[in-house]
Every structure is written in C-alpha cells, then in structure tokens.
C-alpha cells in the first residue's frame, strides 16, 4: 500500500498527476427547493451561504446557493425556476434530489478535457469561458454513470466570489448552529447497475489516467442477506478517490440495488467529508439535527478495546456517538454515516478522520455499516427476497 498519497482532498496548485488535476472543487446538487436545502446545509452541516444566483443576479431559469466550509469545501445547491429548465426538472423528476456533477479544479481546462476525450471520455460540455467584470472562469464536462458528470474548472483568471452570475447572498441571515469543523471532500462514491462497475471503473481509469486502488470481489462485502462488489478508482497521486459499487446476487435485495431502484439509475451514493476531530464534529452535527445510522452492537467496541493500535480518542466517546474505527497498518480511520438526507433512500454523507496515514475506506467496518443500512432498508420494506 502506498503511503505517499495526499489525504483529505487538500487541493495542490502543482498537481502530481498527468491530467493537471489540483483536487476536488464543488459538487452540484439538483434539488426541489434550493432555498430550503441550502438552509439545511447551513444549519445542520454548519456551512456558510457564500454566494447566490437567481433573478436578482440576472439568472431567470434557475436559482443556486453556494455553501462553503471554513476550509473551502464547496457545495452548490440548484433548483429550477421555470418548467422549461429541462436539465434540472428532468433530473429531479426521475431521481429526486441528488448529485448532478462533481467538479475538479485543473490547471488547464482545455488540455485536461482534450486529453480525457482522446482517452475515451464522453464529452457533455465543451470548454467554455464565462466572463464578467471580475475576469473569467473556464469549465468543461465529461459524462459519468447515469445522469452524472465530471466537471473541469479553472479560476486562475477570476477574482469574483465563485463563477460569473453569482453575487453575495441577497438576504444576509445569521443562521445559528454548532460549529462542525467539517473540512474537505475525502472521496465520492457511486452506485451502478449490475455488470456496470468494471465498465465505469475502466472508463474513469482510461479517461483520467486513474488506477484501481482496491477491489472487493464476490464474498468480500456481504451481510446475512445482501452483497455488493466495489472498486476504488483514484488519481495516481491519490487526491481524487471514487469508489464504485454494484449489487451482487444474494438472498435478498442488495442495498445497492435498493439505491438504483429508488434513484431510478446509477448515481452518487455518498460523499465523505474529512474532519480533524470527529468526536467534536459528530457531537456538533447531532446537536444541529443531523441523523446518523444506528450504532453497531456493544460487542463491536468490546472487540476494539482488546486491540492495541494507539487509539488517541476515548473509546467510550466513540461508542456513545456510534463512530466506527478501522485499524489499518500503523494507522486507523474513524468514520460514521448519516441517514439518507433527501426524501428517497439514496444519497447520504460520511464523516471521516484519518490517523497516521490510513488510506483505506473502512473495509473492516463494512459488516457493521451494511448491517446498519440493512436495518433501515428493512424498515422501508425494501429488504425483499430475490429470485436468485
């Protein structure tokens, strides 16, 4: 396992990968009511409403709020304002609220886009400069699974708030909440249909010169009832990590299949956000009203207490909050998963803290995690028998 990778999604001005990718940039969600969802991101996640576009800024077909963390993580929340805003409306009608695109900041949009397309990427938006009085931003996009896109963006020639069309929020409301300390995007995970995982892993690896970092095959990730396969693809400097899951046959409906059925297609399942103090972050998030999956059974922490791996945190605190811990070589990672945040049981967040160079994805916790998801799946009446 390589230990020289960059953790926590910290963007680097001088990329260490062949595609000129500096790091994750913004993730755009298409939602039914951007105003209300932006409020939840501010109140529950403790993010700041940093910029806005809509009729007041000359944009008439859609409305967007840019939310930022203290460390510069960016989520863009967009809704349609008109029945003719087809890209947003068709997405919402089919999938419900979800992630439309994730963006990476690159040194040269044209160069990255042209290289990706030459390597086999499917273009969806050609490189384009968007200008206003503060300069210009360049963007382009390629296709990803389902209706999702990977966006390339460069801000080197722009001094405005975000991109042209955005201004300071119209109403400067103080939203009081606990400070959560959430930092940056650590990884973004997609769920795809049966037999699509290899296709999309190859597509990303070829298009963006990424590599498969970890592969979980048949039998590696399964509960009593359901199973899945997973491939982690990442940039060769480790700054972008994109695990892809697909359902695997088992006695009952795989949770990945529940996702693709409810979402009506492949798409983004979760975004992991890093923190430097998971106990503080999760305590604050809970106090702000974020719901997390049920904690694992007490035996999980008893087993953990018998292992000597230099745990810095108080195990009782981890147990109280239901935080999972996975030991990995000299390091360990702490993680916890929210319940799905929108109406359908599709998209959720993960909060993650990596210690001493842990670079995995909590493989030791898969059992506890998937059993917790399965308990909720059963409550929804979706843990049904399959014909296999």
Contact between 368 and Fe ion by CB under 5 A: the answer reads no
Q: Taking a C-beta distance cutoff of 8 angstroms, is the pair 308, 197 a contact? A: no
Contact between 138 and Fe ion by CB under 5 A: the answer reads no
Which of 165/267 has CB closer to Fe ion?
Answer: 267
Contact letters (x/-) for Fe ion, 258-287, by CB under 5 A?
--------------x---------------
Cite the DSSP H helix spans in the chain. Answer: 34-43, 86-95, 109-118, 197-208, 255-263, 278-287, 298-305, 315-321, 366-379
Contact between 328 and Fe ion by CB under 5 A: the answer reads no
Distance in Å, CB of 377 to Fe ion, minimum: 18
Which range in 5-13, 27-35, 313-321, 348-356 contacts Fe ion by CB under 5 A?
A: 348-356
Which of 85/245 has CB closer to Fe ion?
Answer: 245
Which range in 20-28, 64-72, 210-218, 342-350 contacts Fe ion by CB under 5 A?
A: 342-350
Which of 73/121 has CB closer to Fe ion?
Answer: 73
Structure tokens at 3: 């230990």
Among 28, 257, 326, 350, binds Fe ion (CB under 5 A): 350
Q: Taking a C-beta distance cutoff of 8 angstroms, is the pair 362, 333 a contact? A: yes
Burial label for 97, CB within 10 Å (0-12, 13-18, 19+), is buried
Return d(Cα 84, Cα 265) in angstroms, integer.
23
Helix (H) or strand (E) holding 252: none
Return d(Cα 332, Cα 359) in angstroms, integer.
9
Distance in Å, CB of 350 to Fe ion, minimum: 5
Which of 78/274 has CB closer to Fe ion?
Answer: 274
Distance in Å, CB of 46 to Fe ion, minimum: 20
Residues between 154 and 213 with contacts to Fe ion, criterion CB under 5 A: none
Distance in Å, CB of 225 to Fe ion, minimum: 21
Contact between 28 and Fe ion by CB under 5 A: the answer reads no
Q: Taking a C-beta distance cutoff of 8 angstroms, is the pair 332, 358 a contact? A: yes
Which of 271/284 has CB closer to Fe ion?
Answer: 271
| Size, binding site for Fe ion by CB under 5 A | 2
Q: Taking a C-beta distance cutoff of 8 angstroms, is the pair 271, 193 a contact? A: no
Return d(Cα 289, Cα 282) in angstroms, integer.
11
Phi, psi of 22 (to 5 degrees): -85, -30
Contact between 334 and Fe ion by CB under 5 A: the answer reads no
Chain residues binding Fe ion by CB under 5 A are 272, 350
């Amino acid at each position: 396992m390589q230990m020289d990778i960059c953790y926590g999604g910290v963007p680097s001005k001088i990329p260490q990968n062949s595609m000129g990718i500096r790091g994750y940039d913004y993730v755009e969600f298409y939602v039914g009511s951007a105003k209300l969802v932006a409020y939840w991101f501010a109140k529950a996640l403790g993010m700041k409403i940093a910029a806005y576009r809509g009729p007041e800024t000359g944009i008439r077909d859609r409305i967007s709020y840019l939310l930022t963390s203290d460390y510069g993580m960016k989520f863009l929340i967009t809704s349609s304002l008109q029945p003719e805003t087809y890209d947003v409306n068709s997405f919402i009608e089919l999938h419900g609220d979800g992630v439309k695109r994730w963006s990476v900041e690159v040194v040269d949009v044209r160069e990255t886009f042209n290289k990706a397309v030459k390597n086999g990427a499917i273009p969806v938006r050609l490189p384009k400069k968007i200008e206003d009085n503060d300069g210009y931003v360049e963007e382009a996009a390629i296709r990803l699974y389902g209706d999702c896109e990977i966006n390339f963006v460069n801000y080197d020639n722009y001094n405005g708030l975000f991109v042209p069309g955005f201004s300071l929020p119209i109403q400067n409301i103080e939203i009081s909440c606990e400070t959560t300390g959430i930092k940056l995007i650590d990884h973004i995970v997609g769920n795809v249909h049966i037999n699509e995982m290899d296709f999309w892993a190859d597509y990303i690896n070829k298009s963006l010169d990424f590599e498969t970092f970890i592969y979980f095959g048949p039998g590696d990730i399964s509960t009593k009832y359901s199973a899945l396969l997973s491939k982690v693809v990442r940039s060769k400097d480790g700054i972008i990590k994109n695990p892809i899951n697909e359902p695997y046959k088992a006695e009952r409906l795989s949770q990945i299949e529940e996702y693709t059925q409810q979402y009506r297609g492949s798409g983004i399942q979760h975004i992991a956000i890093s923190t430097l103090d998971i106990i503080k972050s999760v305590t604050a998030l809970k106090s702000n009203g974020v719901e997390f999956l049920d904690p694992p059974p007490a035996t999980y922490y008893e087993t953990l207490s018998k292992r000597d791996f230099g745990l810095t945190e108080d195990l009782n605190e981890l147990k109280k909050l239901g935080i999972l811990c996975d030991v990995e070589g000299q390091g360990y990672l702490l993680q916890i998963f929210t319940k799905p945040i929108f109406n359908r049981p599709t998209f959720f967040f993960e909060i993650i803290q990596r210690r001493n160079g842990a670079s995995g994805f909590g493989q030791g916790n898969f059992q506890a995690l998937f059993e917790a998801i399965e308990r909720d799946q059963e409550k929804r009446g979706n843990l049904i028998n399959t014909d296999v």
